[in-house]
Amino acid sequence: MSTATATHHDGHHADHPTGIMRWLTTTNHKDIGTMYLTFSLIMFLIGGIMILAVRAELFQPGMQLMQPEFFNQLIGVHALVMIFAALMPAATGFANWMLPLQLGAPDMALPRLNNWGFWLLPPAAMLLLAPFVLALFGIGDGAVATGWTFYAPLSVQGGIGTDFAIFAVHLLGISSVMGSINVLVTIFNMRAPGMTLMKMPIFAWGWMITAFLLIATIPVLAGGVTMLLTDRHFGTHFFDAAGGGDPILFQHLFWFFGHPEVYIVLLPVWGLIPHILTTFARKPTYGYKAQVYSFWAIGILSVVVWAHHFFTVGLPTPALLYFMYSTMSISLPLAVLFFCWIATMWKGSMTFETPMLFTVGWIILFGIGGLTGLVLADVAADAQYHHSYFVVAHFHYTLFAGGIMGIMAGVYYWLPKMTGHMYSEKLGKLHFWLTAIAFNVTFIPQFFLGLAGMPRRIPDYALQFSEFNMISTIGAFTLGLSQLIFVYNIIRTVRGGEKATDKVWESPEGLEWTLPSPPPYHSFSEQPVVK
């Protein structure tokens, strides 16, 4: 009827922001989710370019392209960017987009907090990257050059890049905590009537444990880097033996956060994998409860095993034994998860669209990451693996294969729902195969490099490591370039293409598939009831 819509208001109330202001002020979970995912993709490319520069330098022995200082800056900032600005925001982006849809809520519980949480990220990323630019103008000596671990006293020695990174970490921490609080409140308080915790989609469970872990560990990181800052500038001696401090205390603080961080990044992925498996195996999730309990077990274990990251500092024997056995025990719940994933596929009726391909590749490669992690738990052998390229290969199997490839599976899985268009299956499959193969070409040689005795974070290496480094660099460039297909495919899908149906896939499970694709700006018209 005409009475309603054809009104000409002088706009006292209708102050809808447009353009950039819309994005700055939006409190809509889908807008914010989109911003998180876009930010993550951009940072993924930036972090990738950094490491390609590193791999180019390592293509041959000798220093070709850069000075060792710059090399050290690149590796550290690459890690910080990839972990804090690519992986974590991608997971948060999915949480924003999908949790309200999956839980049957109109939006996240605290929309304004959600907006602030996102808008802390770009300044944080700028703080991380700014020292590179400042150095060009002769201000400071570049970005943080301590690796992402900030080990004192090296970080106490460093230039202004370290201070920038400390503040960046603070902002990223605050952002993560805001995101976590929002996720927790949403999960606990906004579920549709009838959806008990044990009926929640498993993605929500993964995110809930992630949020718990973030809230439990971020203050420790924040405290640690703040102590670093006061050691650097305010004359404290937390990490200085000469003043009664202890450099190892920093490692305890860092890894008390750093180890759970691994699971913070992985749990949302473990949450989304079962959704993809059940969709493409056309079979319900196997062992829902077992998976949820495993999440809990891993979450709890993850905060009591941190010292396995620094076995070589000379911990007392009982501590070594404790951290070794507790670390090994993580393999048990993880094995349950692997069992459940494969059992979900077992006797299904599988098809292999891109998300499923990524998921299967993910299970295999993440499996390698997990198994090498089991080996690393052995204290005596760890003396050899530690800080060698073996470890570099190991954690790329968990964080690139186990993290990023899982996220990519999620992107292909939910992109049609988010945009209302189907992505190009052909390009998606090409992207998968190139990624999976190039990834292995990059990192399998690194296992052997580590065994042969190449330490990580060295800008130049002895001649016996030449061949493997060369192969690894070739792999890395292929891997990097293949991601352009991914970017192109996403842009193409956002801009148009074949219409996606509401269900998108043949038989997906979950409330998000009951909505139109793309879902309306505010999601559930009728309150869904979960039986």
Shorter beta-carbon distance to another protein: residue 188 or 488: 188
CB of 45 to another protein, least distance (A): 25
Work out how close the CB of 481 gets to another protein at its nearest, in angstroms, rounded to a whole number. Answer: 26
Output the smallest distance, CB 475 to another protein, in A: 16
Query: Which of residues 480 and 518 has its CB atom nearest to another protein in the complex?
Result: 518
Distance separating alpha carbons of residues 297 and 334, to the nearest angstrom? 9
Burial class (CB in 10 A: 0-12, 13-18, 19+), 112: exposed
> Which lies closer to another protein via its Cβ, residue 256 or residue 486?
256
Closer residue to another protein, CB minimum distance, 412 or 468 = 468
| CB of residue 207 to another protein, shortest distance in Å | 15
Which of residues 481 and 516 has its CB atom nearest to another protein in the complex? 516
Q: Closest separation between CB of residue 381 and another protein, Å?
A: 5
State which residue, 44 or 83, has the beta carbon closest to another protein.
83
Minimum distance between the CB of residue 23 and another protein, rounded to whole angstroms? 10
SS3 143: strand
The string of DSSP codes covering 235-288 is: ---TT-GGGT--HHHHHHHHHHHHHHHHHHHHHHHHHHHHHHHHHHHTSPPS-H
- Rounded Cα distance, 340 and 287, in Å: 6
Count of residues making up the chain: 531
HEC sequence for 14-37: CCCCCHHHHHHHCCCHHHHHHHHH
Helix (H, G, I), strand (E, B) or coil at 529: coil
C-alpha to C-alpha distances, 180 to 4, 32, 372, 511, nearest whole angstrom: 40, 14, 30, 22
Whose Cβ is closer to another protein: residue 65's or residue 481's?
A: 65
Structure tokens at 507: 């038989």
Least separation, in Å, of the C-beta of 175 and another protein?
12
Report residue 165 as tokens.
């990174």
CA-only gyration radius of the chain, Å: 23
Tokens of 342: 């494969």
